[in-house]
Amino acid sequence: MNTKLKVFAVNKGILFNFEKKLNMSQELSEQEEIRRAKLAELKKLGIEPYPAEEFQINVTAQDIKENYERDKLNYKDISLAGRIMSVRDMGKAAFAVLQDSTDRIQIYVRRDDICPNEEDKQLYDTVWKKLIDLGDIIGIQGYVFTTKTGETSIHVTHFKLLAKSLKPLPVVKTDEDGKSFDEVTDPEFRYRQRYVDLIINPSVKKTFEQRTKIISSIRNFLNDQGALEVDTPVLQSIPGGAAARPFLTHHNALDMPLYLRIANELYLKRLIVGGFDWVYEFSRNFRNEGMDRTHNPEFTVLEFYAAYRDYFWMMNTTEKLLEKIAVDLHGTTELTVGDRSISFAPPFKRITIFDAIKEHTGVDVSKMDEVELRAVCKSLHIDMDETMGKAKLIDTLFGEKCEANYIQPTFITDYPVEMSPLTKKHRTEEGLVERFELMINGKEIANAYSELNDPIDQRERFEDQVKLMERGDDEAMFIDYDFLRALEYGMPPTAGIGFGIDRLCMLLTNQPSIQDVLLFPQMRPETKHETVN
């Protein structure tokens, strides 16, 4: 403990356990030491810094800001609570900014109002001026008024400490024009301490409110049309429904390996077999792969499956769903993403993957064999290796030369069969499947099929996957025999789709990184430096 602090403590008559302090001084900053000293002082004055009893509020900051001007009589006896974000102290009166869950509002604290007794001004002079800090959570009572500079504010008549803050909050100042100063932009700080990010950066909070709004908009759409929300296993003994590296865990009582799901597709289809006509699930999926601005090890996919439908119906339904989300969220189908405008008004463009390739490379690859395809890819400077088959070459060609061009919502349809082991063969085109991907802003947002319901065909497709696995493809699918058994009982013709919810949120909230639409994105653990005593 440093001498200056000791002087401060003595001067203020603040007593504390000296030895305890000494131990903690190894890790605590000066400001943290001072706040702990203030905490002790509050207790000494008989003020509980973390009271248990309820604090009743009857208004929010947003309510006051929106309605006070036209309904002044209603704001004469108000009570609200929040966090102190800034203080402008002026001797015997002070202005402060209080932030509740809805907004920020200025409060006005005058000594002679909160301390009506002429003999005792301690509540203001000591508690408010000395012991309350930025970041503290307080409850106030008072009345709303307008300052002479025209700002709607609360004239405080009573205040109560509800929670003392022991860590200094980064201070972000904002001027009249809304320009902010010393804004905390360090991504590591923001993601590791999201709670602080949410307190000091109001736009971050708004993004996550929008995320929830997107999800409830989808849920309302599906529920209104009679779809049934279901829960299926996250722990699976066979990680099916997609091609990806899974996380492996172990169940002790059963003494068996279990995987965190990479997809829920095969379970939802089992439910279609079981007689539900339309089921959906917001599925948290886990994939043990690389991380970047569009990938997090756990992510959310909305999948839904509708019986007696096909992929054309699914395209129409997808158009209606996206239109509704855009309108629910922004009140319009015309959105600005980055510096581009994107229209979510149906109908969306539909184009086959072969036509897309023709459109952007001038080459018709639809009738080509693998040798011809390789020649085309080589001439277009596409990176290849020997293991890539025809389907993989087409997929790469599309990814390299076409994908980024589809800014407006576009359905890319009719993919090669080899890359789609769960998809029904095309009704007319040999070698293709009834599948589409929805591209928006140059990125894949959804992937859908007419689902394969022929159990014999499905078994053969799985067996092809096993051959790929034996050749060393570590992303080939496992065979799920129980799923095959379910198909053998008969699954109605079904259309299914998966939406990348995180990416959809990035798009609709205009965020460049998946970490900005996940409250707690995956991070490496923090290492704490060992202190040598």
Q: Which of residues 417-476 bind RNA (CB under 7 A)?
A: 444, 447, 475
70 or 148, CB closer to RNA? 148
Query: Of these, 103, 143, 513, 519, which contacts RNA (CB under 7 A)?
Result: 513
Alpha-carbon distance of 447 to 349, in angstroms, equals: 15
Binds RNA by CB under 7 A, chosen from 117, 252, 428, 531: 531
CB-nearer residue toward RNA: 38 or 424? 38
Integer Cα distance of 228 and 285 in angstroms: 20
Distance of closest approach, residue 27 Cβ to RNA, in angstroms: 8
Phi-psi region of 510 (alpha: psi -120 to 50; beta: other; left: phi over 0): left
Answer for which of 119, 182, 224, 339 binds RNA (CB under 7 A) is 182
- x/- string (CB under 7 A) for RNA, residues 210-229? --------------------
Smallest gap from residue 289 Cβ to RNA (A): 4
Please tell me whether residue 527 binds RNA under the rule CB under 7 A. Answer: yes
The C-alpha torsion from 262 through 265 and 267 to 271, rounded to 10°, is 160
* Closer residue to RNA (CB): 365 or 517: 517
| CA–CA dist 296, 290 (Å, integer) | 8
Three-state SS for 299-361 is EEEEEEEEECCCHHHHHHHHHHHHHHHHHHHHCCCEEEECCEEEECCCCCEEEEHHHHHHHHH
How does DSSP classify residue 526? P
Tell me which residue has tokens 């009982």.
Answer: 489
By beta-carbon proximity to RNA, the closer residue of 169 and 228 is 169
Taking alpha carbons only, the member of 257, 255, 259 closest to residue 247 is 259
Is there binding between residue 410 and RNA (CB under 7 A)? no
- The one among 117, 149, 252, 533 contacting RNA by CB under 7 A: 149
Closest separation between CB of residue 413 and RNA, Å?
Answer: 16
Amino acid at 273: V
Contact pick of 116, 257, 347, 512 for RNA (by CB under 7 A): 512
User: Comparing C-alpha atoms, which of 169, 144, 168 is closest to residue 156?
Assistant: 144
Is residue 184 near RNA by the rule CB under 7 A?
yes
Q: Are 80 and 57 in contact (CB under 8 A)?
A: yes
Which residue's CB is nearer to RNA, number 33 or number 63?
33
241/307 with CB nearer RNA? 241
Shortest CB 356 distance to RNA, Å: 17
- DSSP 8-state assignment for residue 375: H
Please report how close the Cβ of residue 428 comes to RNA at its closest, in angstroms: 26
Q: Which of 1, 40, 65, 187 binds RNA (CB under 7 A)?
A: 187
CA distance readout (Å), 359 to 398, 401, 417: 11, 10, 22
Residue from 171, 230, 235, 375 that binds RNA (CB under 7 A)? 171
Show contacts with RNA in window 470-509 (CB under 7 A).
Answer: 475, 500, 502-503
Q: List helix spans (H) across 132-227.
A: 187-192, 194-200, 202-224
| Residues in 86-145 that interact with RNA by CB under 7 A | 86-93, 95, 106, 108, 110-112, 130, 133-134, 145
Residue 164 tokens read as 């003392």
Shortest separation between residue 489's beta carbon and RNA, angstroms: 28
Q: Determine, following the binding rule CB under 7 A, whether residue 524 of this chain makes contact with RNA.
A: yes
Residue 336 main-chain phi, psi, to 5 deg: -110, 120
Q: Is 287 exposed, middle or buried (0-12, 13-18, 19+ CB in 10 A)?
A: buried
Q: Which is nearer to RNA, 112 or 231 (CB)?
A: 112
Q: Is 207 in the site for RNA (CB under 7 A)?
A: no
- State which of residues 8, 208, 276, 312 lies at the interface with RNA (CB under 7 A): 8
CB of 156 vs RNA, minimal distance in Å? 11
Residues 248-307 interacting with RNA (rule: CB under 7 A):
287, 289-297, 299
SS3 156: strand
Residue among 416, 446, 418 at smallest CA distance from 434: 416
244 binds RNA, rule: CB under 7 A? yes
Residue closer to RNA by CB (options 27, 48) is 27
Beta carbon of residue 302, minimum distance to RNA (angstroms, whole number)? 12
Residue with tokens 């999948």: 303
Shorter beta-carbon distance to RNA: residue 106 or 343: 106
Q: Does the bond joining 347 to the residue before it have cis omega, within 30 degrees of 0?
A: yes
Residue 272 burial class via C-beta count within 10 angstroms: exposed 0-12, middle 13-18, buried 19 and up: buried
Beta bridge partners of 433: 425
Q: Which stretch binds RNA (CB under 7 A): 45-53, 237-245, 334-342, 489-497?
A: 237-245
Residue 93 Cβ, how far from RNA at the closest point, in Å?
A: 4
To RNA, the closest distance from the beta carbon of 28 in angstroms equals: 9
Residue 69 binds RNA (CB under 7 A): no
Asked if 46 is part of the footprint of RNA (rule: CB under 7 A), the reply reads no
- Closer to RNA at the Cβ: 188 or 334? 188
Among positions 31, 249, 336, 341, the unique one binding RNA when judged by CB under 7 A: 31
Residue 4 interacts with RNA (CB under 7 A)?
yes
Q: What is the DSSP string of 403-464?
A: GGG--S-EEEE--BGGG-TTBPBPSSSTTBBSEEEEEETTEEEEEEEEBP--HHHHHHHHHH
Site for RNA in 313-372 (CB under 7 A): none
Buried b (16+ CB within 10 A) or exposed e, 395-422: bbbbebbbbeebbbbbbbbbbbbbbbbb
Establish if 191 lies at the interface with RNA (CB under 7 A). yes
Check: CB of residue 37 under 8 Å from CB of residue 6: no
Residue 4 or 250 having the CB closest to RNA: 4
Question: Which one, 146 or 341, has the nearer CB to RNA?
Answer: 146
